[in-house]
Amino acid sequence: MRPLRAQVSISELYAKAGREAEGIVRVVVVDCPVGVHIHEIVGVARTRRTEPPKSGGTRAVVLVLDFAIPGGIIGVLRLFVLLVRVSVGNATENLELREEEKVIRPELHPATNSLSMGEVVRAVSDATHHEAVLVTDVGQNQMISARYFKYTKERSIITSGGLGTMGFGLPAAIGATFGAPERTVCVFMGDGGLQMNIQELGTIMEQKAPVKIICLNNNYLGNVRQWQAMFFNRRYSFTPMLNPDYMKVASAYDIPSKRVFTREELKEAIAEMLATDGPFLLEACVVEEGNVLPMTPPGGSVNQMLLEC
Ligand SMILES: Cc1ncc(C[n+]2csc(CCOP(=O)(O)OP(=O)(O)O)c2C)c(N)n1
Ligand SMILES: [Mg+2]
């Protein structure tokens, strides 16, 4: 992937830096990827200089500029922050557009008939008017639900974040129903993670905890599979899952459930899940080899972020 171009409008910077100069800072604005060195301050001079740089208004690839800035070293620091903000802003704007086109739109509106993880998450979020509590397990389901679930209330997400231990989601969701009994609690789980603490369905049954369990079933330990696909030539080792029949499992615990494959089924099943008093297991059979993007490759920097596999 080509590095992002960090582009800076010099006149804008100069206007913000102001004309009441006390010091001059020489700034090298480098066409450098976000996350590495965007700027390097190579020296601070004491001479007065207030005229704008000749290249005012242009967008620079590499520029060495003498800026007259107010406030001595504090001013230098302020300008530095400003420079970083402007150029990161420009670069991320490009990134956001590309991300929208390459990642978000295809995830939320897939061209294929198979359900994507993202569209299932967004459909549940929409149906709860973005007022539900989101609990996540660990894996692709976690990143996708954190990305595409929306919130309108504070205290709305429970996730193990980087301390990801599969199996976290189900007991955490039970806790959330006790902590926020007036709210709908939706937990997104993978088919792998659901089995890690599957005995907690017993607690749900016993406590009648109204957990809405959405299992994004891709028949894989998807997070690991994605790495094997992207960095190990699709050598899938111990990631394909032979899943139990989750409908039978749910019924054994007296928990109502639905398995869906299509968009129409999904819509109806979500409505049924939310209309059901108490717990519900919704198994959404999603595209098996779906990926979570953007992704920073191992050992890479954020400027090498991948938007496609
Ligand atoms: C207890 C535990 N074992 C292994 C891992 C490593 N790990 C992280 S995500 C993942 C796969 C998760 O698969 P699944 O629950 O099906 O979710 P998906 O990624 O498919 O959404 C694994 C094995 C972990 N985080 N925790
Ligand atoms: Mg899975």
Closest ligand 1 atom, residue 141 Cα? 21
**DSSP-derived secondary structure for 8-42:** -BHHHHHHHH-S--SEEEEEEEE---TTS--EEEE
Which protein residue's CA is at the shortest distance from atom 11 of ligand 1? 221
Backbone angles phi, psi at 199, to 5 degrees: -65, -15
User: Which of 117, 138, 144 maximizes ligand 1 atoms within 8 Å of its Cβ, making it the mutation to test the pocket?
Assistant: 138
C-beta atoms surrounding 86 within 10 Å: 20
Across-strand partners of 286? Answer: 115
Asked if residues 214 and 163 have their Cβ atoms less than 8 Å apart, the reply is no
User: How confident is the prediction along the chain (309 residues), in pLDDT tens digits per residue?
Assistant: 333 333 444 444 545 444 333 334 444 444 333 332 333 333 332 222 333 444 443 333 333 444 444 445 555 566 666 666 655 555 666 778 899 999 999 999 999 999 999 999 999 999 999 999 999 999 999 999 999 999 999 999 999 998 999 999 999 999 999 999 999 999 999 999 999 999 999 999 999 999 999 999 999 999 999 999 999 999 999 999 999 999 999 999 999 999 999 999 999 999 999 999 999 999 999 999 999 999 988 888 877 889 998
Closest ligand 1 atom, residue 196 Cα? 1
* 238-242, long-range: CB < 8 A, 24+ apart: 241/191, 241/192
Closest ligand 1 atom, residue 241 Cα? 16
What residues flank ligand 1, with Cβ below 6 Å? 138-141, 164-167, 190-193, 196, 216, 218, 220-224
For residue 203, the SS3 value is helix
Burial call 40-60: b when 16+ CB within 10 Å, e when fewer: eeeeeeeeeeeebbeeeeeeb
